Structure 1
Amino acid sequence: MDMNANARSDAPSGGPSREVALIALLEELSHELRPKQSQPFGVRAASRLEQDLGIDSLARTELSARIERRFGVRLAFDAVSQAETVGDLLAALELAPATGAGAEPSAVAAAPPLPSAATPTTARTLIEALEWHVAHHPERRHLSVLEDDRKIIGELTYGQLALQARRVAAGLVERDIVPGDRVAIMLPTGLDFFTVFFGILYAGATPVPIYPPMRLSQIEDHLQRQAGILRNAGARILVTMPEGLRLAQLLRAQVESLDSIESAASLSAAEDVALPTSRDEKSIALIQYTSGSTGDPKGVVLSHANLLANVRAMGAAIGASSKDVFVSWLPLYHDMGLIGAWLGSLYFAAPLFVMSPLSFLARPANWLWALHRFRATLSASPNFGFELCVAKVDEASLAGLDLSSLRMVANGAEPVSVYTLRRFCEKFRRFGFREEAMAPVYGLAENAVGLAFPPTGRRPVIDRIERDALTHRGLAKPAREADAKAIELAASGQPLPGNDIRIVDEGGRELGERQEGRLEFRGPSATAGYFMNEAKTRELIHNGWLDSGDRAYIANGDVFITGRIKDIIIRAGQHLYPQEIEEAVARIPGIRKGCVAVFGAADPRSGTERVVVLAETAETDPSARAGLETKVQEVTTDISGTIADEIVLAPPRSVPKTSSGKIRRSAAKALYERGAVGGAQQPVWRQFLHLALAGLGPQLRRSLSFVGGGLYAVWWWLVIGSSYAAAWLGVMALPGLGRRWAFVRRLANGALAALRVPISASGLENIPNGNAMLVFNHSSYADAILLTAILPGAPAFVAKKELARQMFAGPFLRRLGVQFVDRYDVASSLGDIDALIAAARGGRNLVYFPEGTFTRRAGLSGFYLGAFKTAAEAGLAVVPGALRGTRSMLRGEQWFPRWAPLGVTIGKPISPAEKDFASLLKLRDAARRAILANCGEPDLDELVKPPAPGLADKPSATS
């Protein structure tokens, strides 16, 4: 029996009726995409999907789903993505099998799990990492390329990857490629990409991935648009698909450095040759371009050390191992797919199943079913991918889906929509997806890929903040439950191990908790700059910190991204550059030159950005304006590969500009969002005055905040400096330890009052009159001021012995009865413990910072055991105390203080049980849990667990 014919009995048959039904479907979709289009679409077989009907890559996802539902078929994964015209769709429809025909059953047995494998921890380069795996398990499956959710079309073991990469390297060397040369890769997802990438590295050259065209028919126009990147990179060779080889002369005429265009096959035909043997971890391993094809391309330079540091840090943060399975549809020319998915899987020996982005866009359910079938534990997607799964995947097609194997799915590469996040978790909860697996993350190419990850197993943290406080004062003030205007933001986690993040104001001064500013970062993964672009590199790096171009704030150790400073529009994971579209649209006859603004308008329901083109024209005839709209749409599609969501044709003098004639995109966006574009126009001077006045308030507030912050810092140091001088004189003159402490306590409280610092203290009644061990988290030099102000009696602080030798601090601290310990001499430190026990038995409370020191990074570090050994030896109760706000007041590595409220919470005393090692660990962990619960900072020890300090560790001292 003909299963196809039987399955299609309810669908329109082939011939005219099927063509009529498809045209009707396209008419409906086109009108939904461009409801303001006044000109009839007139769909026919020759109509072009993008230029005539406005159906871009995202709309093709919807088109594919509608065709499959309407006609009861399963289209080939690239049938819709590669179609140019309605006729192409008709041809694909005729070849498509009916739903279920020839398909595998929904339950496909996954491959048996691979044995556990170690990681190349000593590798200095990507080549060494691959060769380590080849030496230990060459036959281990490394990756599989999927056509869709079920069909594997290619696989590579570690040994095969190295062997084929060496053949490519031989072809490159035969073509006179030498170490340091750049080789561009423009290949779709497939085995060739992986072997070519490592082949370039084996040849000692630098890979430069650029994205391939969506359709092969666009390859010539696409390559012309990539000429700017190829010129900036000085690419010697471009490796692309065979269809692009004929374009060698065209590109060589535009890119002087380009010697040839090759395919993977043409390079692999070479004989074996000797390959470079240099393995320098500081050499360039990748140039990742983040800018457009015209103007000033920005190629992020990343060394082998940068990439390996980032892969290792991400792995440490998520607990990656060879037991994981990664399923990805992410493009390989993008850092999230290239580094996060592929190189991460390669390093940790976790099998990778990768499909083309086109397969995902054509049928988002392919990703979900691949996660199910291959029992994925890890995956990742930009926010728009989650939105597609929510909006475009029919639940009826998910019967039997099981996502319970996932332990983490990263949501990054573009702004995270809380709306999308909640809907995805809700929709797929019944299919085994756990909310704890959803992980909003933050990263950027300038730091390889990852910068901040949340702790594993934590549900997404959503912050509701007052809109006006954020937009007008830059304060992320928690909103009331009844506040309907509140802004909701998802936490992107904490900095990866070894990485630092700070938030600074316009003067480069670090801001405190819940204050919005510019996000800067540093760490071992940070780029050294942009390739052949010194001007942009100088803008990027300041005093060792890199400018992310994003605005953010930090709360409870988590990073919250509030928006991008750049004008880049992110649409479905693709970066769109307004200048390119503006210049092209301005060349259309009837559009006023230099009077076009392109900007992104947030669409919270779709989780991506709407592209708006605002263009001035003097044309008033309706039919002529409709023709202009069509031409603007065609140009926008040609330049960016996507349609404009809205085209606004406005009368002359509608687009705001600076006095020098530059387009003010943010002002144009504000006019658009207020609905003030296209109506009765005010005189230019009035528009300018209105916009100028609108900006006066925020600018004035920023200026006052900047000046006020500087004045407060000066006042802070005057107060603290004079208070210390007075304390020194009083302590040196007063008799008796009790009187000295009473004096400095009054001075500390007076200083904090003069600085208008509010202090909240709870649990002070838990502090014994003596014979106790008080342990606190260590956040700042300001800790000592706060504790001096609130601790009763004459506490015995424990400090490093170096302070005892200082001219002024030494005598002052000795007069206050501070106990000094040696941080380096173990024999001496054991004697110090005896002295501390004697002081405690004399009736004083010992004050320890068991972290040993503090850093600028928010979070509670691991505790050393020395303090708890002392408590056990002396039989002292341990009293945990949590300090809050001191890090915001005076952060490590900086001397610019800021106003911040301070808080102290004293927990219940914990009595030591025994003196054995296991009891000490329990005592330490109990105290640490109590501090962690009240300090309002993340657990850094959970992210990176250092070797556990042994009993020989000396008591922790103040910094």
Structure 2
Amino acid sequence: MTEPVSGGPPDAAASMQRALLAQIAQLMTELHPQAAQRPAVHLDSRLDRDLGLDSLSRVELLARLERHFGVVLPEAEALAAATPAELVHALERAAPREAIVATAVAAATADTAAFELPDGARTLPEVLDWHCRRHADRNYVRFEGGTAHGTLLSYGELRQGASRAAAGLQALDLRPLDPVALMLPTHPDFLIAFFAVLLAGGVPVPLYPPMRPAELADYWRRQAGTLRNCGARLLLVDAAMQSHRHLIRSMTGPVEHIVTVAELGDAPLRHSATPGPDDLAMLQYTSGSTADPKGVMLTHRNLLANLRVMGQAIGVNADDVFVSWLPLYHDMGLIGACLGSLYYGIPLVLIPPQAFLLRPERWLWAIHRYRATLSAAPNFALELCVYRVPDSAIQGLDLCRWRLAFCGAEPIFEETLERFSQRFAPFGFRREALFPVYGLAENTLGLTFPPTGRAPRILRIAREPFLQRGAAQPAPGTATLSFVSCGQPLREHEIRIVDEAGRELPDGMQGSVQFRGPSATAGYFHATETTRRLFHDSWLDSGDLGFVFEGELYLTGRVKDLIIRAGRHIHPQAIEQAIGSVAGIRRGRVAVFGSYAPDEGTERLVVVAETRVADATALDALRKQVNAIAANLSGGPADEVILAPPGSVLKTSSGKLRRAACRAAYEAGTLGKPHRGALLAVLLRGLGENVRSRLRRAGALAFAAYAWTILALLLLPAAVALAVVPGTPSRWRAMRAIIRVLRVALRLPLTLHVEQAPPARPCIFVANHASYVDALVLLWALPRPVAFTAKAELSRKPLFHWLLSRLGAVFVERSDPQRSTEVVAQAEEGRRDFLFFPEGTFSRMPGLLPFHLGAFLAAAHAGLPVVPVALRGTRAVLRDVERLPRRAPVEVTIGAPLVPQPAADRWHEALRLSEAARQFLLDHGGEPDAGDRPLPVSPPP
């Protein structure tokens, strides 16, 4: 049953108002079921400060109003409404629900021309010019919804519009590399302004525009720190914001000119700037506390490096179409969707984020209508689709062409992925399309991607080892935690996990995630000290916690308790400090944290503040004051404000706030109910963990020192044995005896598995290469002496040449298959086995590198069996560039021999042997495939 909406008789209007207020009251009851008293709802109540409805709650309210009244609200007016009275006006202007039945489906026509890429471009303007020279009339973006609905923007139109706007910027005395702030909605003007700033020689600074004009004062107070930090003298806005220019100018500090794109004029550009690849291309401000704005400096080289490796990782092709509702001030929306589509020349459809939030089905229908293959959304957006989209709104929906659904920007939860997959499977959505990724502005955008075509990988680990010491141990059963894999680092990028002391941790241990690569920023704009804290030698600190398991990254939390709510990053420290200054609140006794809300797919903002105030009226006023501060500093009110008695906010023995413990107590329902014994137990556990952590670090250092001492003591007998023992087999046996002593002394857990004994005749053994200790492990594990094939450069180092020669090693250039064949042919006459590391080298990052084909060509030429030997765990014992060995379990698996076929073509037979050996090493080595680079050799003439 729906209520009448139009301006009818007074009784109908009063009935509509009552129904509206009842819907708001019902929503507040659901949001705060435990609240003893809720604020009264009136037509003039402020939705945020009086009623505590944040942006997501208001979107939920609008969706309920549409369903209840059977209407379609005008988006801009409904989203801008600050009071129920303003929502009444929006309802009076609403259209009947039937007005948005599914529109006619028109498939996008793919461009069948050759798929060329601007590989030689060094900057973003060069990318745009490359496309303009080849297909200036080709459509680049189609805008769906909002004020630009139905607008098409071609490459040529973008270039022409940007050139005209750039001339206007230069007329306003824009200096080289001057930052220019862009506060524009999803509209062609944003893209024109972005490239206009680059063509004029400036640096674009995308900032989020205000959603509600009534909140401009609060909005500008939050933006003041960012504008001061970047020092922007020019601010580009839309016409709606320009009408408030007098208010804006009084609050924007260094800003001298506030103009729209249209006001920049229509004169031709006199001269385009020619930025270099290492010049700034943009400043990406990370959303968060206004007290410490951080502008990530991104160069053209950073951006193009990231776009290229991301596109290579997902295999962008001419059939791809990208649909995005993500905000253009966000790195996923701007860099991933807009600049990514620009670089690869694929069609892009842009939807205003407000349109998605109000009616998520619009996003899904756009994917259907334009036969999109690529799109992206944070975790909370997938939840919106699951719970907000009614079945009646998606009848006939077809998502079968959607091949990659990027999910990132906030924590990703297994339950959300599963619910989304199940909900939309009847509409052609494949679970394999879900694509959990990890990235951050400090690395331009993307950092780790999973393999395409694979369903999300979920790792379930034992709860207690992880909570006690951060050890991720796979385990079945119910007492487990589950984490979603974000995949492997993109090509040329690396990650590592470190402890509090900055020492790299082995796989499966939780620590801080650090990264490096060509997409990494040089630092934060005008923030020397913050930049200094970002870097650790060549590594950058992500601020996130996680662990690596079998070469893939699993994120577990945030180092500094960052709260992510609906894609926005909120730092609790500034909010806590401001609330602590309120009269009636105990200073230093405020905790702000995020608590995951399963029904919303994002985190709830919770404020816990201690007070001695007991009067109900005074408490209500205090709660409103606290919520107003939270709204001012975070962009929206808190989901829950708890005014608790003294002693409720948990701290360490040294007085540091324990936000994680407060969150756990809140979720367990014990916050504010102190128990002396429980608090003592918590204190003792904290002290015990501190002691255990220090002991673990001391133990690791002690073991490393002990291991090097034992190794040094064994070097002398090893050298004597190699010098005086006659014959390679005897020397081999002597070395195996010494390695057994080393293994026992260090108590190294070594395990040997033999699937099939190697044949008695000569063989070529091939093993993966992960660590400095691989050769020692193989000396212990292989059943008989083998001749190591060593890199030729080692022969030029006297000590290594002598040691390896005494063990029968042969020095070869592995990229020279002819030389390898000659070596093995000669060795076959002496009835000897050979050992190759076909990767040729190893790196610190997990992953089986591309193979050199010398060993396999040699085997095909000489007809020798190839015996694969998989090493698992040696990287954890001593990683590349590490100097401190660890005690870690190592497994060696010897596989069944791969016999070459005599009559087969040698080149193709070598490829077959290589592929079969590689698959065995992947199956048993416990590391991912990092062999997507071109093969290192070509077929012989």
TM range (shorter): over 0.9
2:294 corresponding residue in structure 1: 298
Shift of 1:446: 0.6
2:116 aligns with one of 111, 115, 118: 118
Alignment CA distance shift 1:70-1:257 (3 Å): closer
2:888 aligns with one of 900, 916, 920: 900
Shift of 1:769: 2.7
Matched, 1:805 2:803: no
Shift of 1:765: 3.5
Counterpart contact for 1:881–1:906, Cα < 8 Å: yes
SS of alignment partner, residue 642 of structure 2: strand
Instruction: Tell me the distance in 2 between the aligned counterparts of 1:220 and 1:746.
Output: 78
1:815 corresponding residue in structure 2: 806
Instruction: Tell me the distance in 2 between the aligned counterparts of 1:658 and 1:476.
Output: 26
User: Any idea what the Cα deviations from partners look like across 1:574-632, whole Å, max 9, x if unmatched?
Assistant: 11232333344345443344432211123345332121111122211122212322333
Instruction: Tell me the distance in 2 between the aligned counterparts of 1:696 and 1:605.
Output: 36
Instruction: Tell me the distance in 1 between the aligned counterparts of 2:97 and 2:819.
Output: 80
SS of alignment partner, residue 704 of structure 2: helix
2:131 corresponding residue in structure 1: 133
Instruction: Tell me the distance in 2 between the aligned counterparts of 1:752 and 1:364.
Output: 60
2:339 corresponding residue in structure 1: 343
Instruction: Tell me the distance in 2 between the aligned counterparts of 1:589 and 1:387.
Output: 39
Matched, 1:848 2:836: yes
SS of alignment partner, residue 72 of structure 2: coil
1:188 aligns with one of 181, 185, 203: 185
2:920 corresponding residue in structure 1: 930
Is 331-340 or 45-54 further displaced after alignment?
A: 45-54
1:70 corresponding residue in structure 2: 68
2:860 aligns with one of 872, 884, 887: 872
1:737 corresponding residue in structure 2: 728
Shift of 1:254: 5.1
Shift of 1:395: 2.0
1:320 corresponding residue in structure 2: 316
Counterpart contact for 1:618–1:652, Cα < 8 Å: yes
SS of alignment partner, residue 80 of structure 2: coil
Is 528-537 or 388-397 further displaced after alignment?
A: 388-397
Matched, 1:920 2:910: yes
2:51 aligns with one of 35, 53, 56: 53
Counterpart contact for 1:14–1:94, Cα < 8 Å: no
Shift of 1:245: 3.1
Counterpart contact for 1:33–1:54, Cα < 8 Å: no
Alignment CA distance shift 1:201-1:910 (3 Å): same
1:332 aligns with one of 324, 328, 333: 328
Counterpart contact for 1:376–1:405, Cα < 8 Å: yes
1:309 corresponding residue in structure 2: 305
Shift of 1:799: 0.6
Question: Counterpart of 1:441 in structure 2: which amino acid?
Answer: V
Matched, 1:32 2:20: no
Instruction: Tell me the distance in 2 between the aligned counterparts of 1:285 and 1:305.
Output: 9
Q: TM-score, normalised by structure 1?
A: 0.93
User: Any idea what the Cα deviations from partners look like across 1:15-49, whole Å, max 9, x if unmatched?
Assistant: 22222222222221122223344445443332332
Shift of 1:257: 3.0
Instruction: Tell me the distance in 2 between the aligned counterparts of 1:832 and 1:320.
Output: 38
User: Any idea what the Cα deviations from partners look like across 1:499-536, whole Å, max 9, x if unmatched?
Assistant: 00111111211111211111111000001111111111
- In structure 2, list runs of 5 or more residues that go unmatched: none
Matches within 5 A, 1:373-392: 373-392=369-388
Matched, 1:644 2:630: no
Instruction: Tell me the distance in 2 between the aligned counterparts of 1:842 and 1:276.
Output: 71
Instruction: Tell me the distance in 2 between the aligned counterparts of 1:172 and 1:220.
Output: 27
Instruction: Tell me the distance in 2 between the aligned counterparts of 1:217 and 1:693.
Output: 51
- In structure 1, list runs of 5 or more residues that go unmatched: 954-959
User: Any idea what the Cα deviations from partners look like across 1:797-836, whole Å, max 9, x if unmatched?
Assistant: 1011222232222122212111111357x5xx73453132
Instruction: Tell me the distance in 1 between the aligned counterparts of 2:125 and 2:793.
Output: 46
Instruction: Tell me the distance in 1 between the aligned counterparts of 2:11 and 2:746.
Output: 82
1:655 aligns with one of 631, 649, 655: 649
Matches within 5 A, 1:504-903: 504-656=498-650, 663-673=657-667, 675-679=669-673, 692-763=683-754, 765-822=756-813, 830-831=818-819, 833-903=821-891
Question: Counterpart of 2:434 in structure 1: which amino acid?
Answer: M
Shift of 1:487: 0.5
Shift of 1:332: 1.0
Counterpart contact for 2:761–2:831, Cα < 8 Å: yes
Instruction: Tell me the distance in 2 between the aligned counterparts of 1:48 and 1:502.
Output: 47
Alignment CA distance shift 1:921-1:659 (3 Å): closer
Shift of 1:253: 5.2
Counterpart contact for 1:519–1:547, Cα < 8 Å: yes
User: Any idea what the Cα deviations from partners look like across 1:85-133, whole Å, max 9, x if unmatched?
Assistant: 22222222222222223x4545511222223431101111111111111
2:222 aligns with one of 219, 222, 225: 225
Alignment CA distance shift 1:812-1:104 (3 Å): same
Residue identity (%): 46
SS of alignment partner, residue 44 of structure 1: coil
Is 908-917 or 194-203 further displaced after alignment?
A: 908-917
Question: Counterpart of 2:560 in structure 1: which amino acid?
Answer: K
Instruction: Tell me the distance in 2 between the aligned counterparts of 1:775 and 1:631.
Output: 69
Counterpart contact for 1:227–1:293, Cα < 8 Å: no
Counterpart contact for 1:467–1:486, Cα < 8 Å: yes
Instruction: Tell me the distance in 2 between the aligned counterparts of 1:657 and 1:881.
Output: 52
User: Any idea what the Cα deviations from partners look like across 1:314-349, whole Å, max 9, x if unmatched?
Assistant: 111111123211111111111111111111111111
User: Any idea what the Cα deviations from partners look like across 1:712-746, whole Å, max 9, x if unmatched?
Assistant: 11222223333343222101100122111111112
Counterpart contact for 1:504–1:511, Cα < 8 Å: yes
Counterpart contact for 1:769–1:845, Cα < 8 Å: no
SS of alignment partner, residue 615 of structure 1: strand
Counterpart contact for 1:165–1:196, Cα < 8 Å: yes
SS of alignment partner, residue 192 of structure 2: helix
Length, aligned pairs only:
936
Counterpart contact for 1:420–1:606, Cα < 8 Å: no
Is 353-362 or 905-914 further displaced after alignment?
A: 905-914
SS of alignment partner, residue 95 of structure 2: coil
Is 394-403 or 519-528 further displaced after alignment?
A: 394-403
Question: Counterpart of 2:69 in structure 1: which amino acid?
Answer: F
Question: Counterpart of 2:607 in structure 1: which amino acid?
Answer: V
SS of alignment partner, residue 96 of structure 2: coil
Instruction: Tell me the distance in 2 between the aligned counterparts of 1:107 and 1:755.
Output: 72
Alignment CA distance shift 1:912-1:152 (3 Å): farther
Question: Counterpart of 1:859 in structure 2: which amino acid?
Answer: G
Matches within 5 A, 1:168-187: 168-187=165-184
Question: Counterpart of 2:928 in structure 1: which amino acid?
Answer: P
Shift of 1:6: 12
Instruction: Tell me the distance in 2 between the aligned counterparts of 1:947 and 1:907.
Output: 24
SS of alignment partner, residue 235 of structure 1: coil
Counterpart contact for 2:893–2:924, Cα < 8 Å: yes
